[in-house]
Structures are given as C-alpha cells and as structure tokens.
Amino acid sequence: MGSARSGPRKHELKLPTVDPVNVYAGEKVGKALEDVTEDMDLYHGVKLAQVLEAVYEQGRKDGRRQVFEGVNALSNSEELTYRNPGRPPKK
C-alpha cells in the first residue's frame, strides 16, 4: 500500500489474544515488527501490546501538548492583539 516516497505503509500486527492491529509505519519499522513478532508466545504478545499501548498514549499526550503550545504562541502574537474598532490611522 504505497512506496517509501508515498509515506507510511499499513502493517498488520497479529497478536495472540486480540484481532490484528493495523500499524502505519515505514518499511524499516514494519520489518522490525515482523522480526519481533515472528516467534511470539502469549506472554511476549501481552508485553508487546502493553508497550505499544503506552507508546500510543504518550504520543497522544505529546500531540496535545504541541497543539496547546501552538495555540499559546498564536494568542501571544501581534496579529491577534485586540485593537479598538474605528477608522485606521492615516499613513
């Protein structure tokens, strides 16, 4: 589903206890996931699922932090400062 230039590819991560999980990543990460999950038993599958869940949650937190920082930067910019309505000054 795409080449290296077109962005991430869809990799199905087959975990023992749940349905396959779709991971969108580059070719190197996909190959690493295949290598890690090749001889996986139930114990290691649960541990991998816990790690992936923690990484996903951290990514959500970091994404929210970036959004709030962007909003704060916009609210402090000169373009959004309040100006009294009225006729603009002559130049």
DSSP label at 51?
H
Which pLDDT does position 80 carry in this prediction?
66
Residue extents of the structural domains in the chain: 9-78
Q: How many residues does this entry show for the chain? A: 91
- Helix boundaries (H) for 1-91: 27-36, 42-75
Contacts of 22 (CB under 8 A, 6+ apart): 10, 11, 12, 13
Which pLDDT does position 15 carry in this prediction?
66
Largest CA distance in the chain: 76
Of the chain, the percentage scoring pLDDT greater than 70 comes to: 82
Rg, C-alpha atoms of the chain: 23
pLDDT tens digits, 10-39: 888 776 666 777 888 888 888 888 888 888
Single-letter amino acid, residue 53:
E
* For residue 64, pLDDT beyond 60: yes
